[in-house]
Amino acid sequence: MPARQPFTALCGQIASARPESRVDLHLHSTFSDGTYSPAEITDLARRSGMPAFAITDHDTLEGVPVAQAAAMGFRIEVVAGVEITAEFRGKELHLLAYFVDVGNQSLQSSLAELRASRRERFLGMLDRLKTMGIALDADDAPTGADPSLGRRHLAEMMVRAKKVASMQDAFRRYLGDESRFSVPKKRLPIEEALTLVRDAGGVASWAHPSYDCTKDSLTELASLGLGAVEACYPTTRFARERELRTWARQLDLAITGGSDCHGPEPLRRGVGAAGISWRELEALRERAGSKPRAVLMQA
């Protein structure tokens, strides 16, 4: 048998290394406040050599089947995910749900209510901005099948209308949490959100935990059904990641991680900029009781 060419040998090495490749489990698409479509995310993830990734749009699962369709014919798994707006100890907490049944009616109904609240909040903030002479055209908002609207959409509209110099400027001057233009967001009680995820066959992780995340708060959430914590994140310092991993081991929680990518900028949060290993993904999968999808993937 003739010797393999260098390029062929390199491809073989890459293929054999796939199980150790990074898996990005925190990505936002145009179905919420991302600028990449699910198909574009799939293409970027595939080109980066990832064996799997998750679409985790805010309060919607609608981008998941679109990404899964785009992945057909390639050796890459699209994990069904969503980032749920929840409340814990009187504060907003984002819950990442993985391996959920996209067709689960209870979960879909609750997410639809959250999106409806997001639309009302979006329009309310438009009205408040208008009272200060910042008139934006509601028709310039994202359209499509029930998009999950948020402040990033408002910031983008303000930039396009030349009301602010940048999205960062929009948040600093008008859209921050304490701004007088802010409108309260509907949040699911954490117990309700965790129950929805469990009943949909999924496993829940605390997204980008702030420094309010302590071993005590993780212990309480674990007792309520939390299955994981996001320890790998672009802005997480090494000491903090190590601390979160230690607590996760002590509390028998799985580890999740991802870039929290919303588009091409900033580069440090691009597709695949952060994530977990394939083995860690398998540990997360076991928590959800989900079967491997490898048999469904084509070469």
pLDDT in tens, 31-60: 998 999 999 999 999 999 999 999 999 999
Give the position of tokens 């490749």: 21
Residue 265 or 114, more confident: 114
C-alpha 81/C-alpha 63 separation (Å) is 9
283: which 2 tokens?
């540990």
Can you name the CATH fold of 23-106+201-296? TIM Barrel (3.20.20)
How far is CA 85 from each of CA 56, 78, 187, rounded to the nearest angstrom?
Answer: 12, 22, 5
Phi, psi of 88 (to 5 degrees): -140, 125
**pLDDT for 265 beyond 90:** no
Q: What confidence tier does 176 reach under pLDDT thresholds 50, 70, 90?
A: confident
Q: What is the pTM of this model?
A: 0.84
pLDDT of residue 179: 84
pLDDT of residue 12: 41
Q: What percent of the chain has pLDDT over 90?
A: 63
**Helix, strand, or coil (residue 207):** coil
**pLDDT for 17 beyond 80:** no
Q: CB–CB of 64/89 below 8 Å?
A: no
In terms of average pLDDT, the best of 11-20, 126-135, 288-297 is 126-135
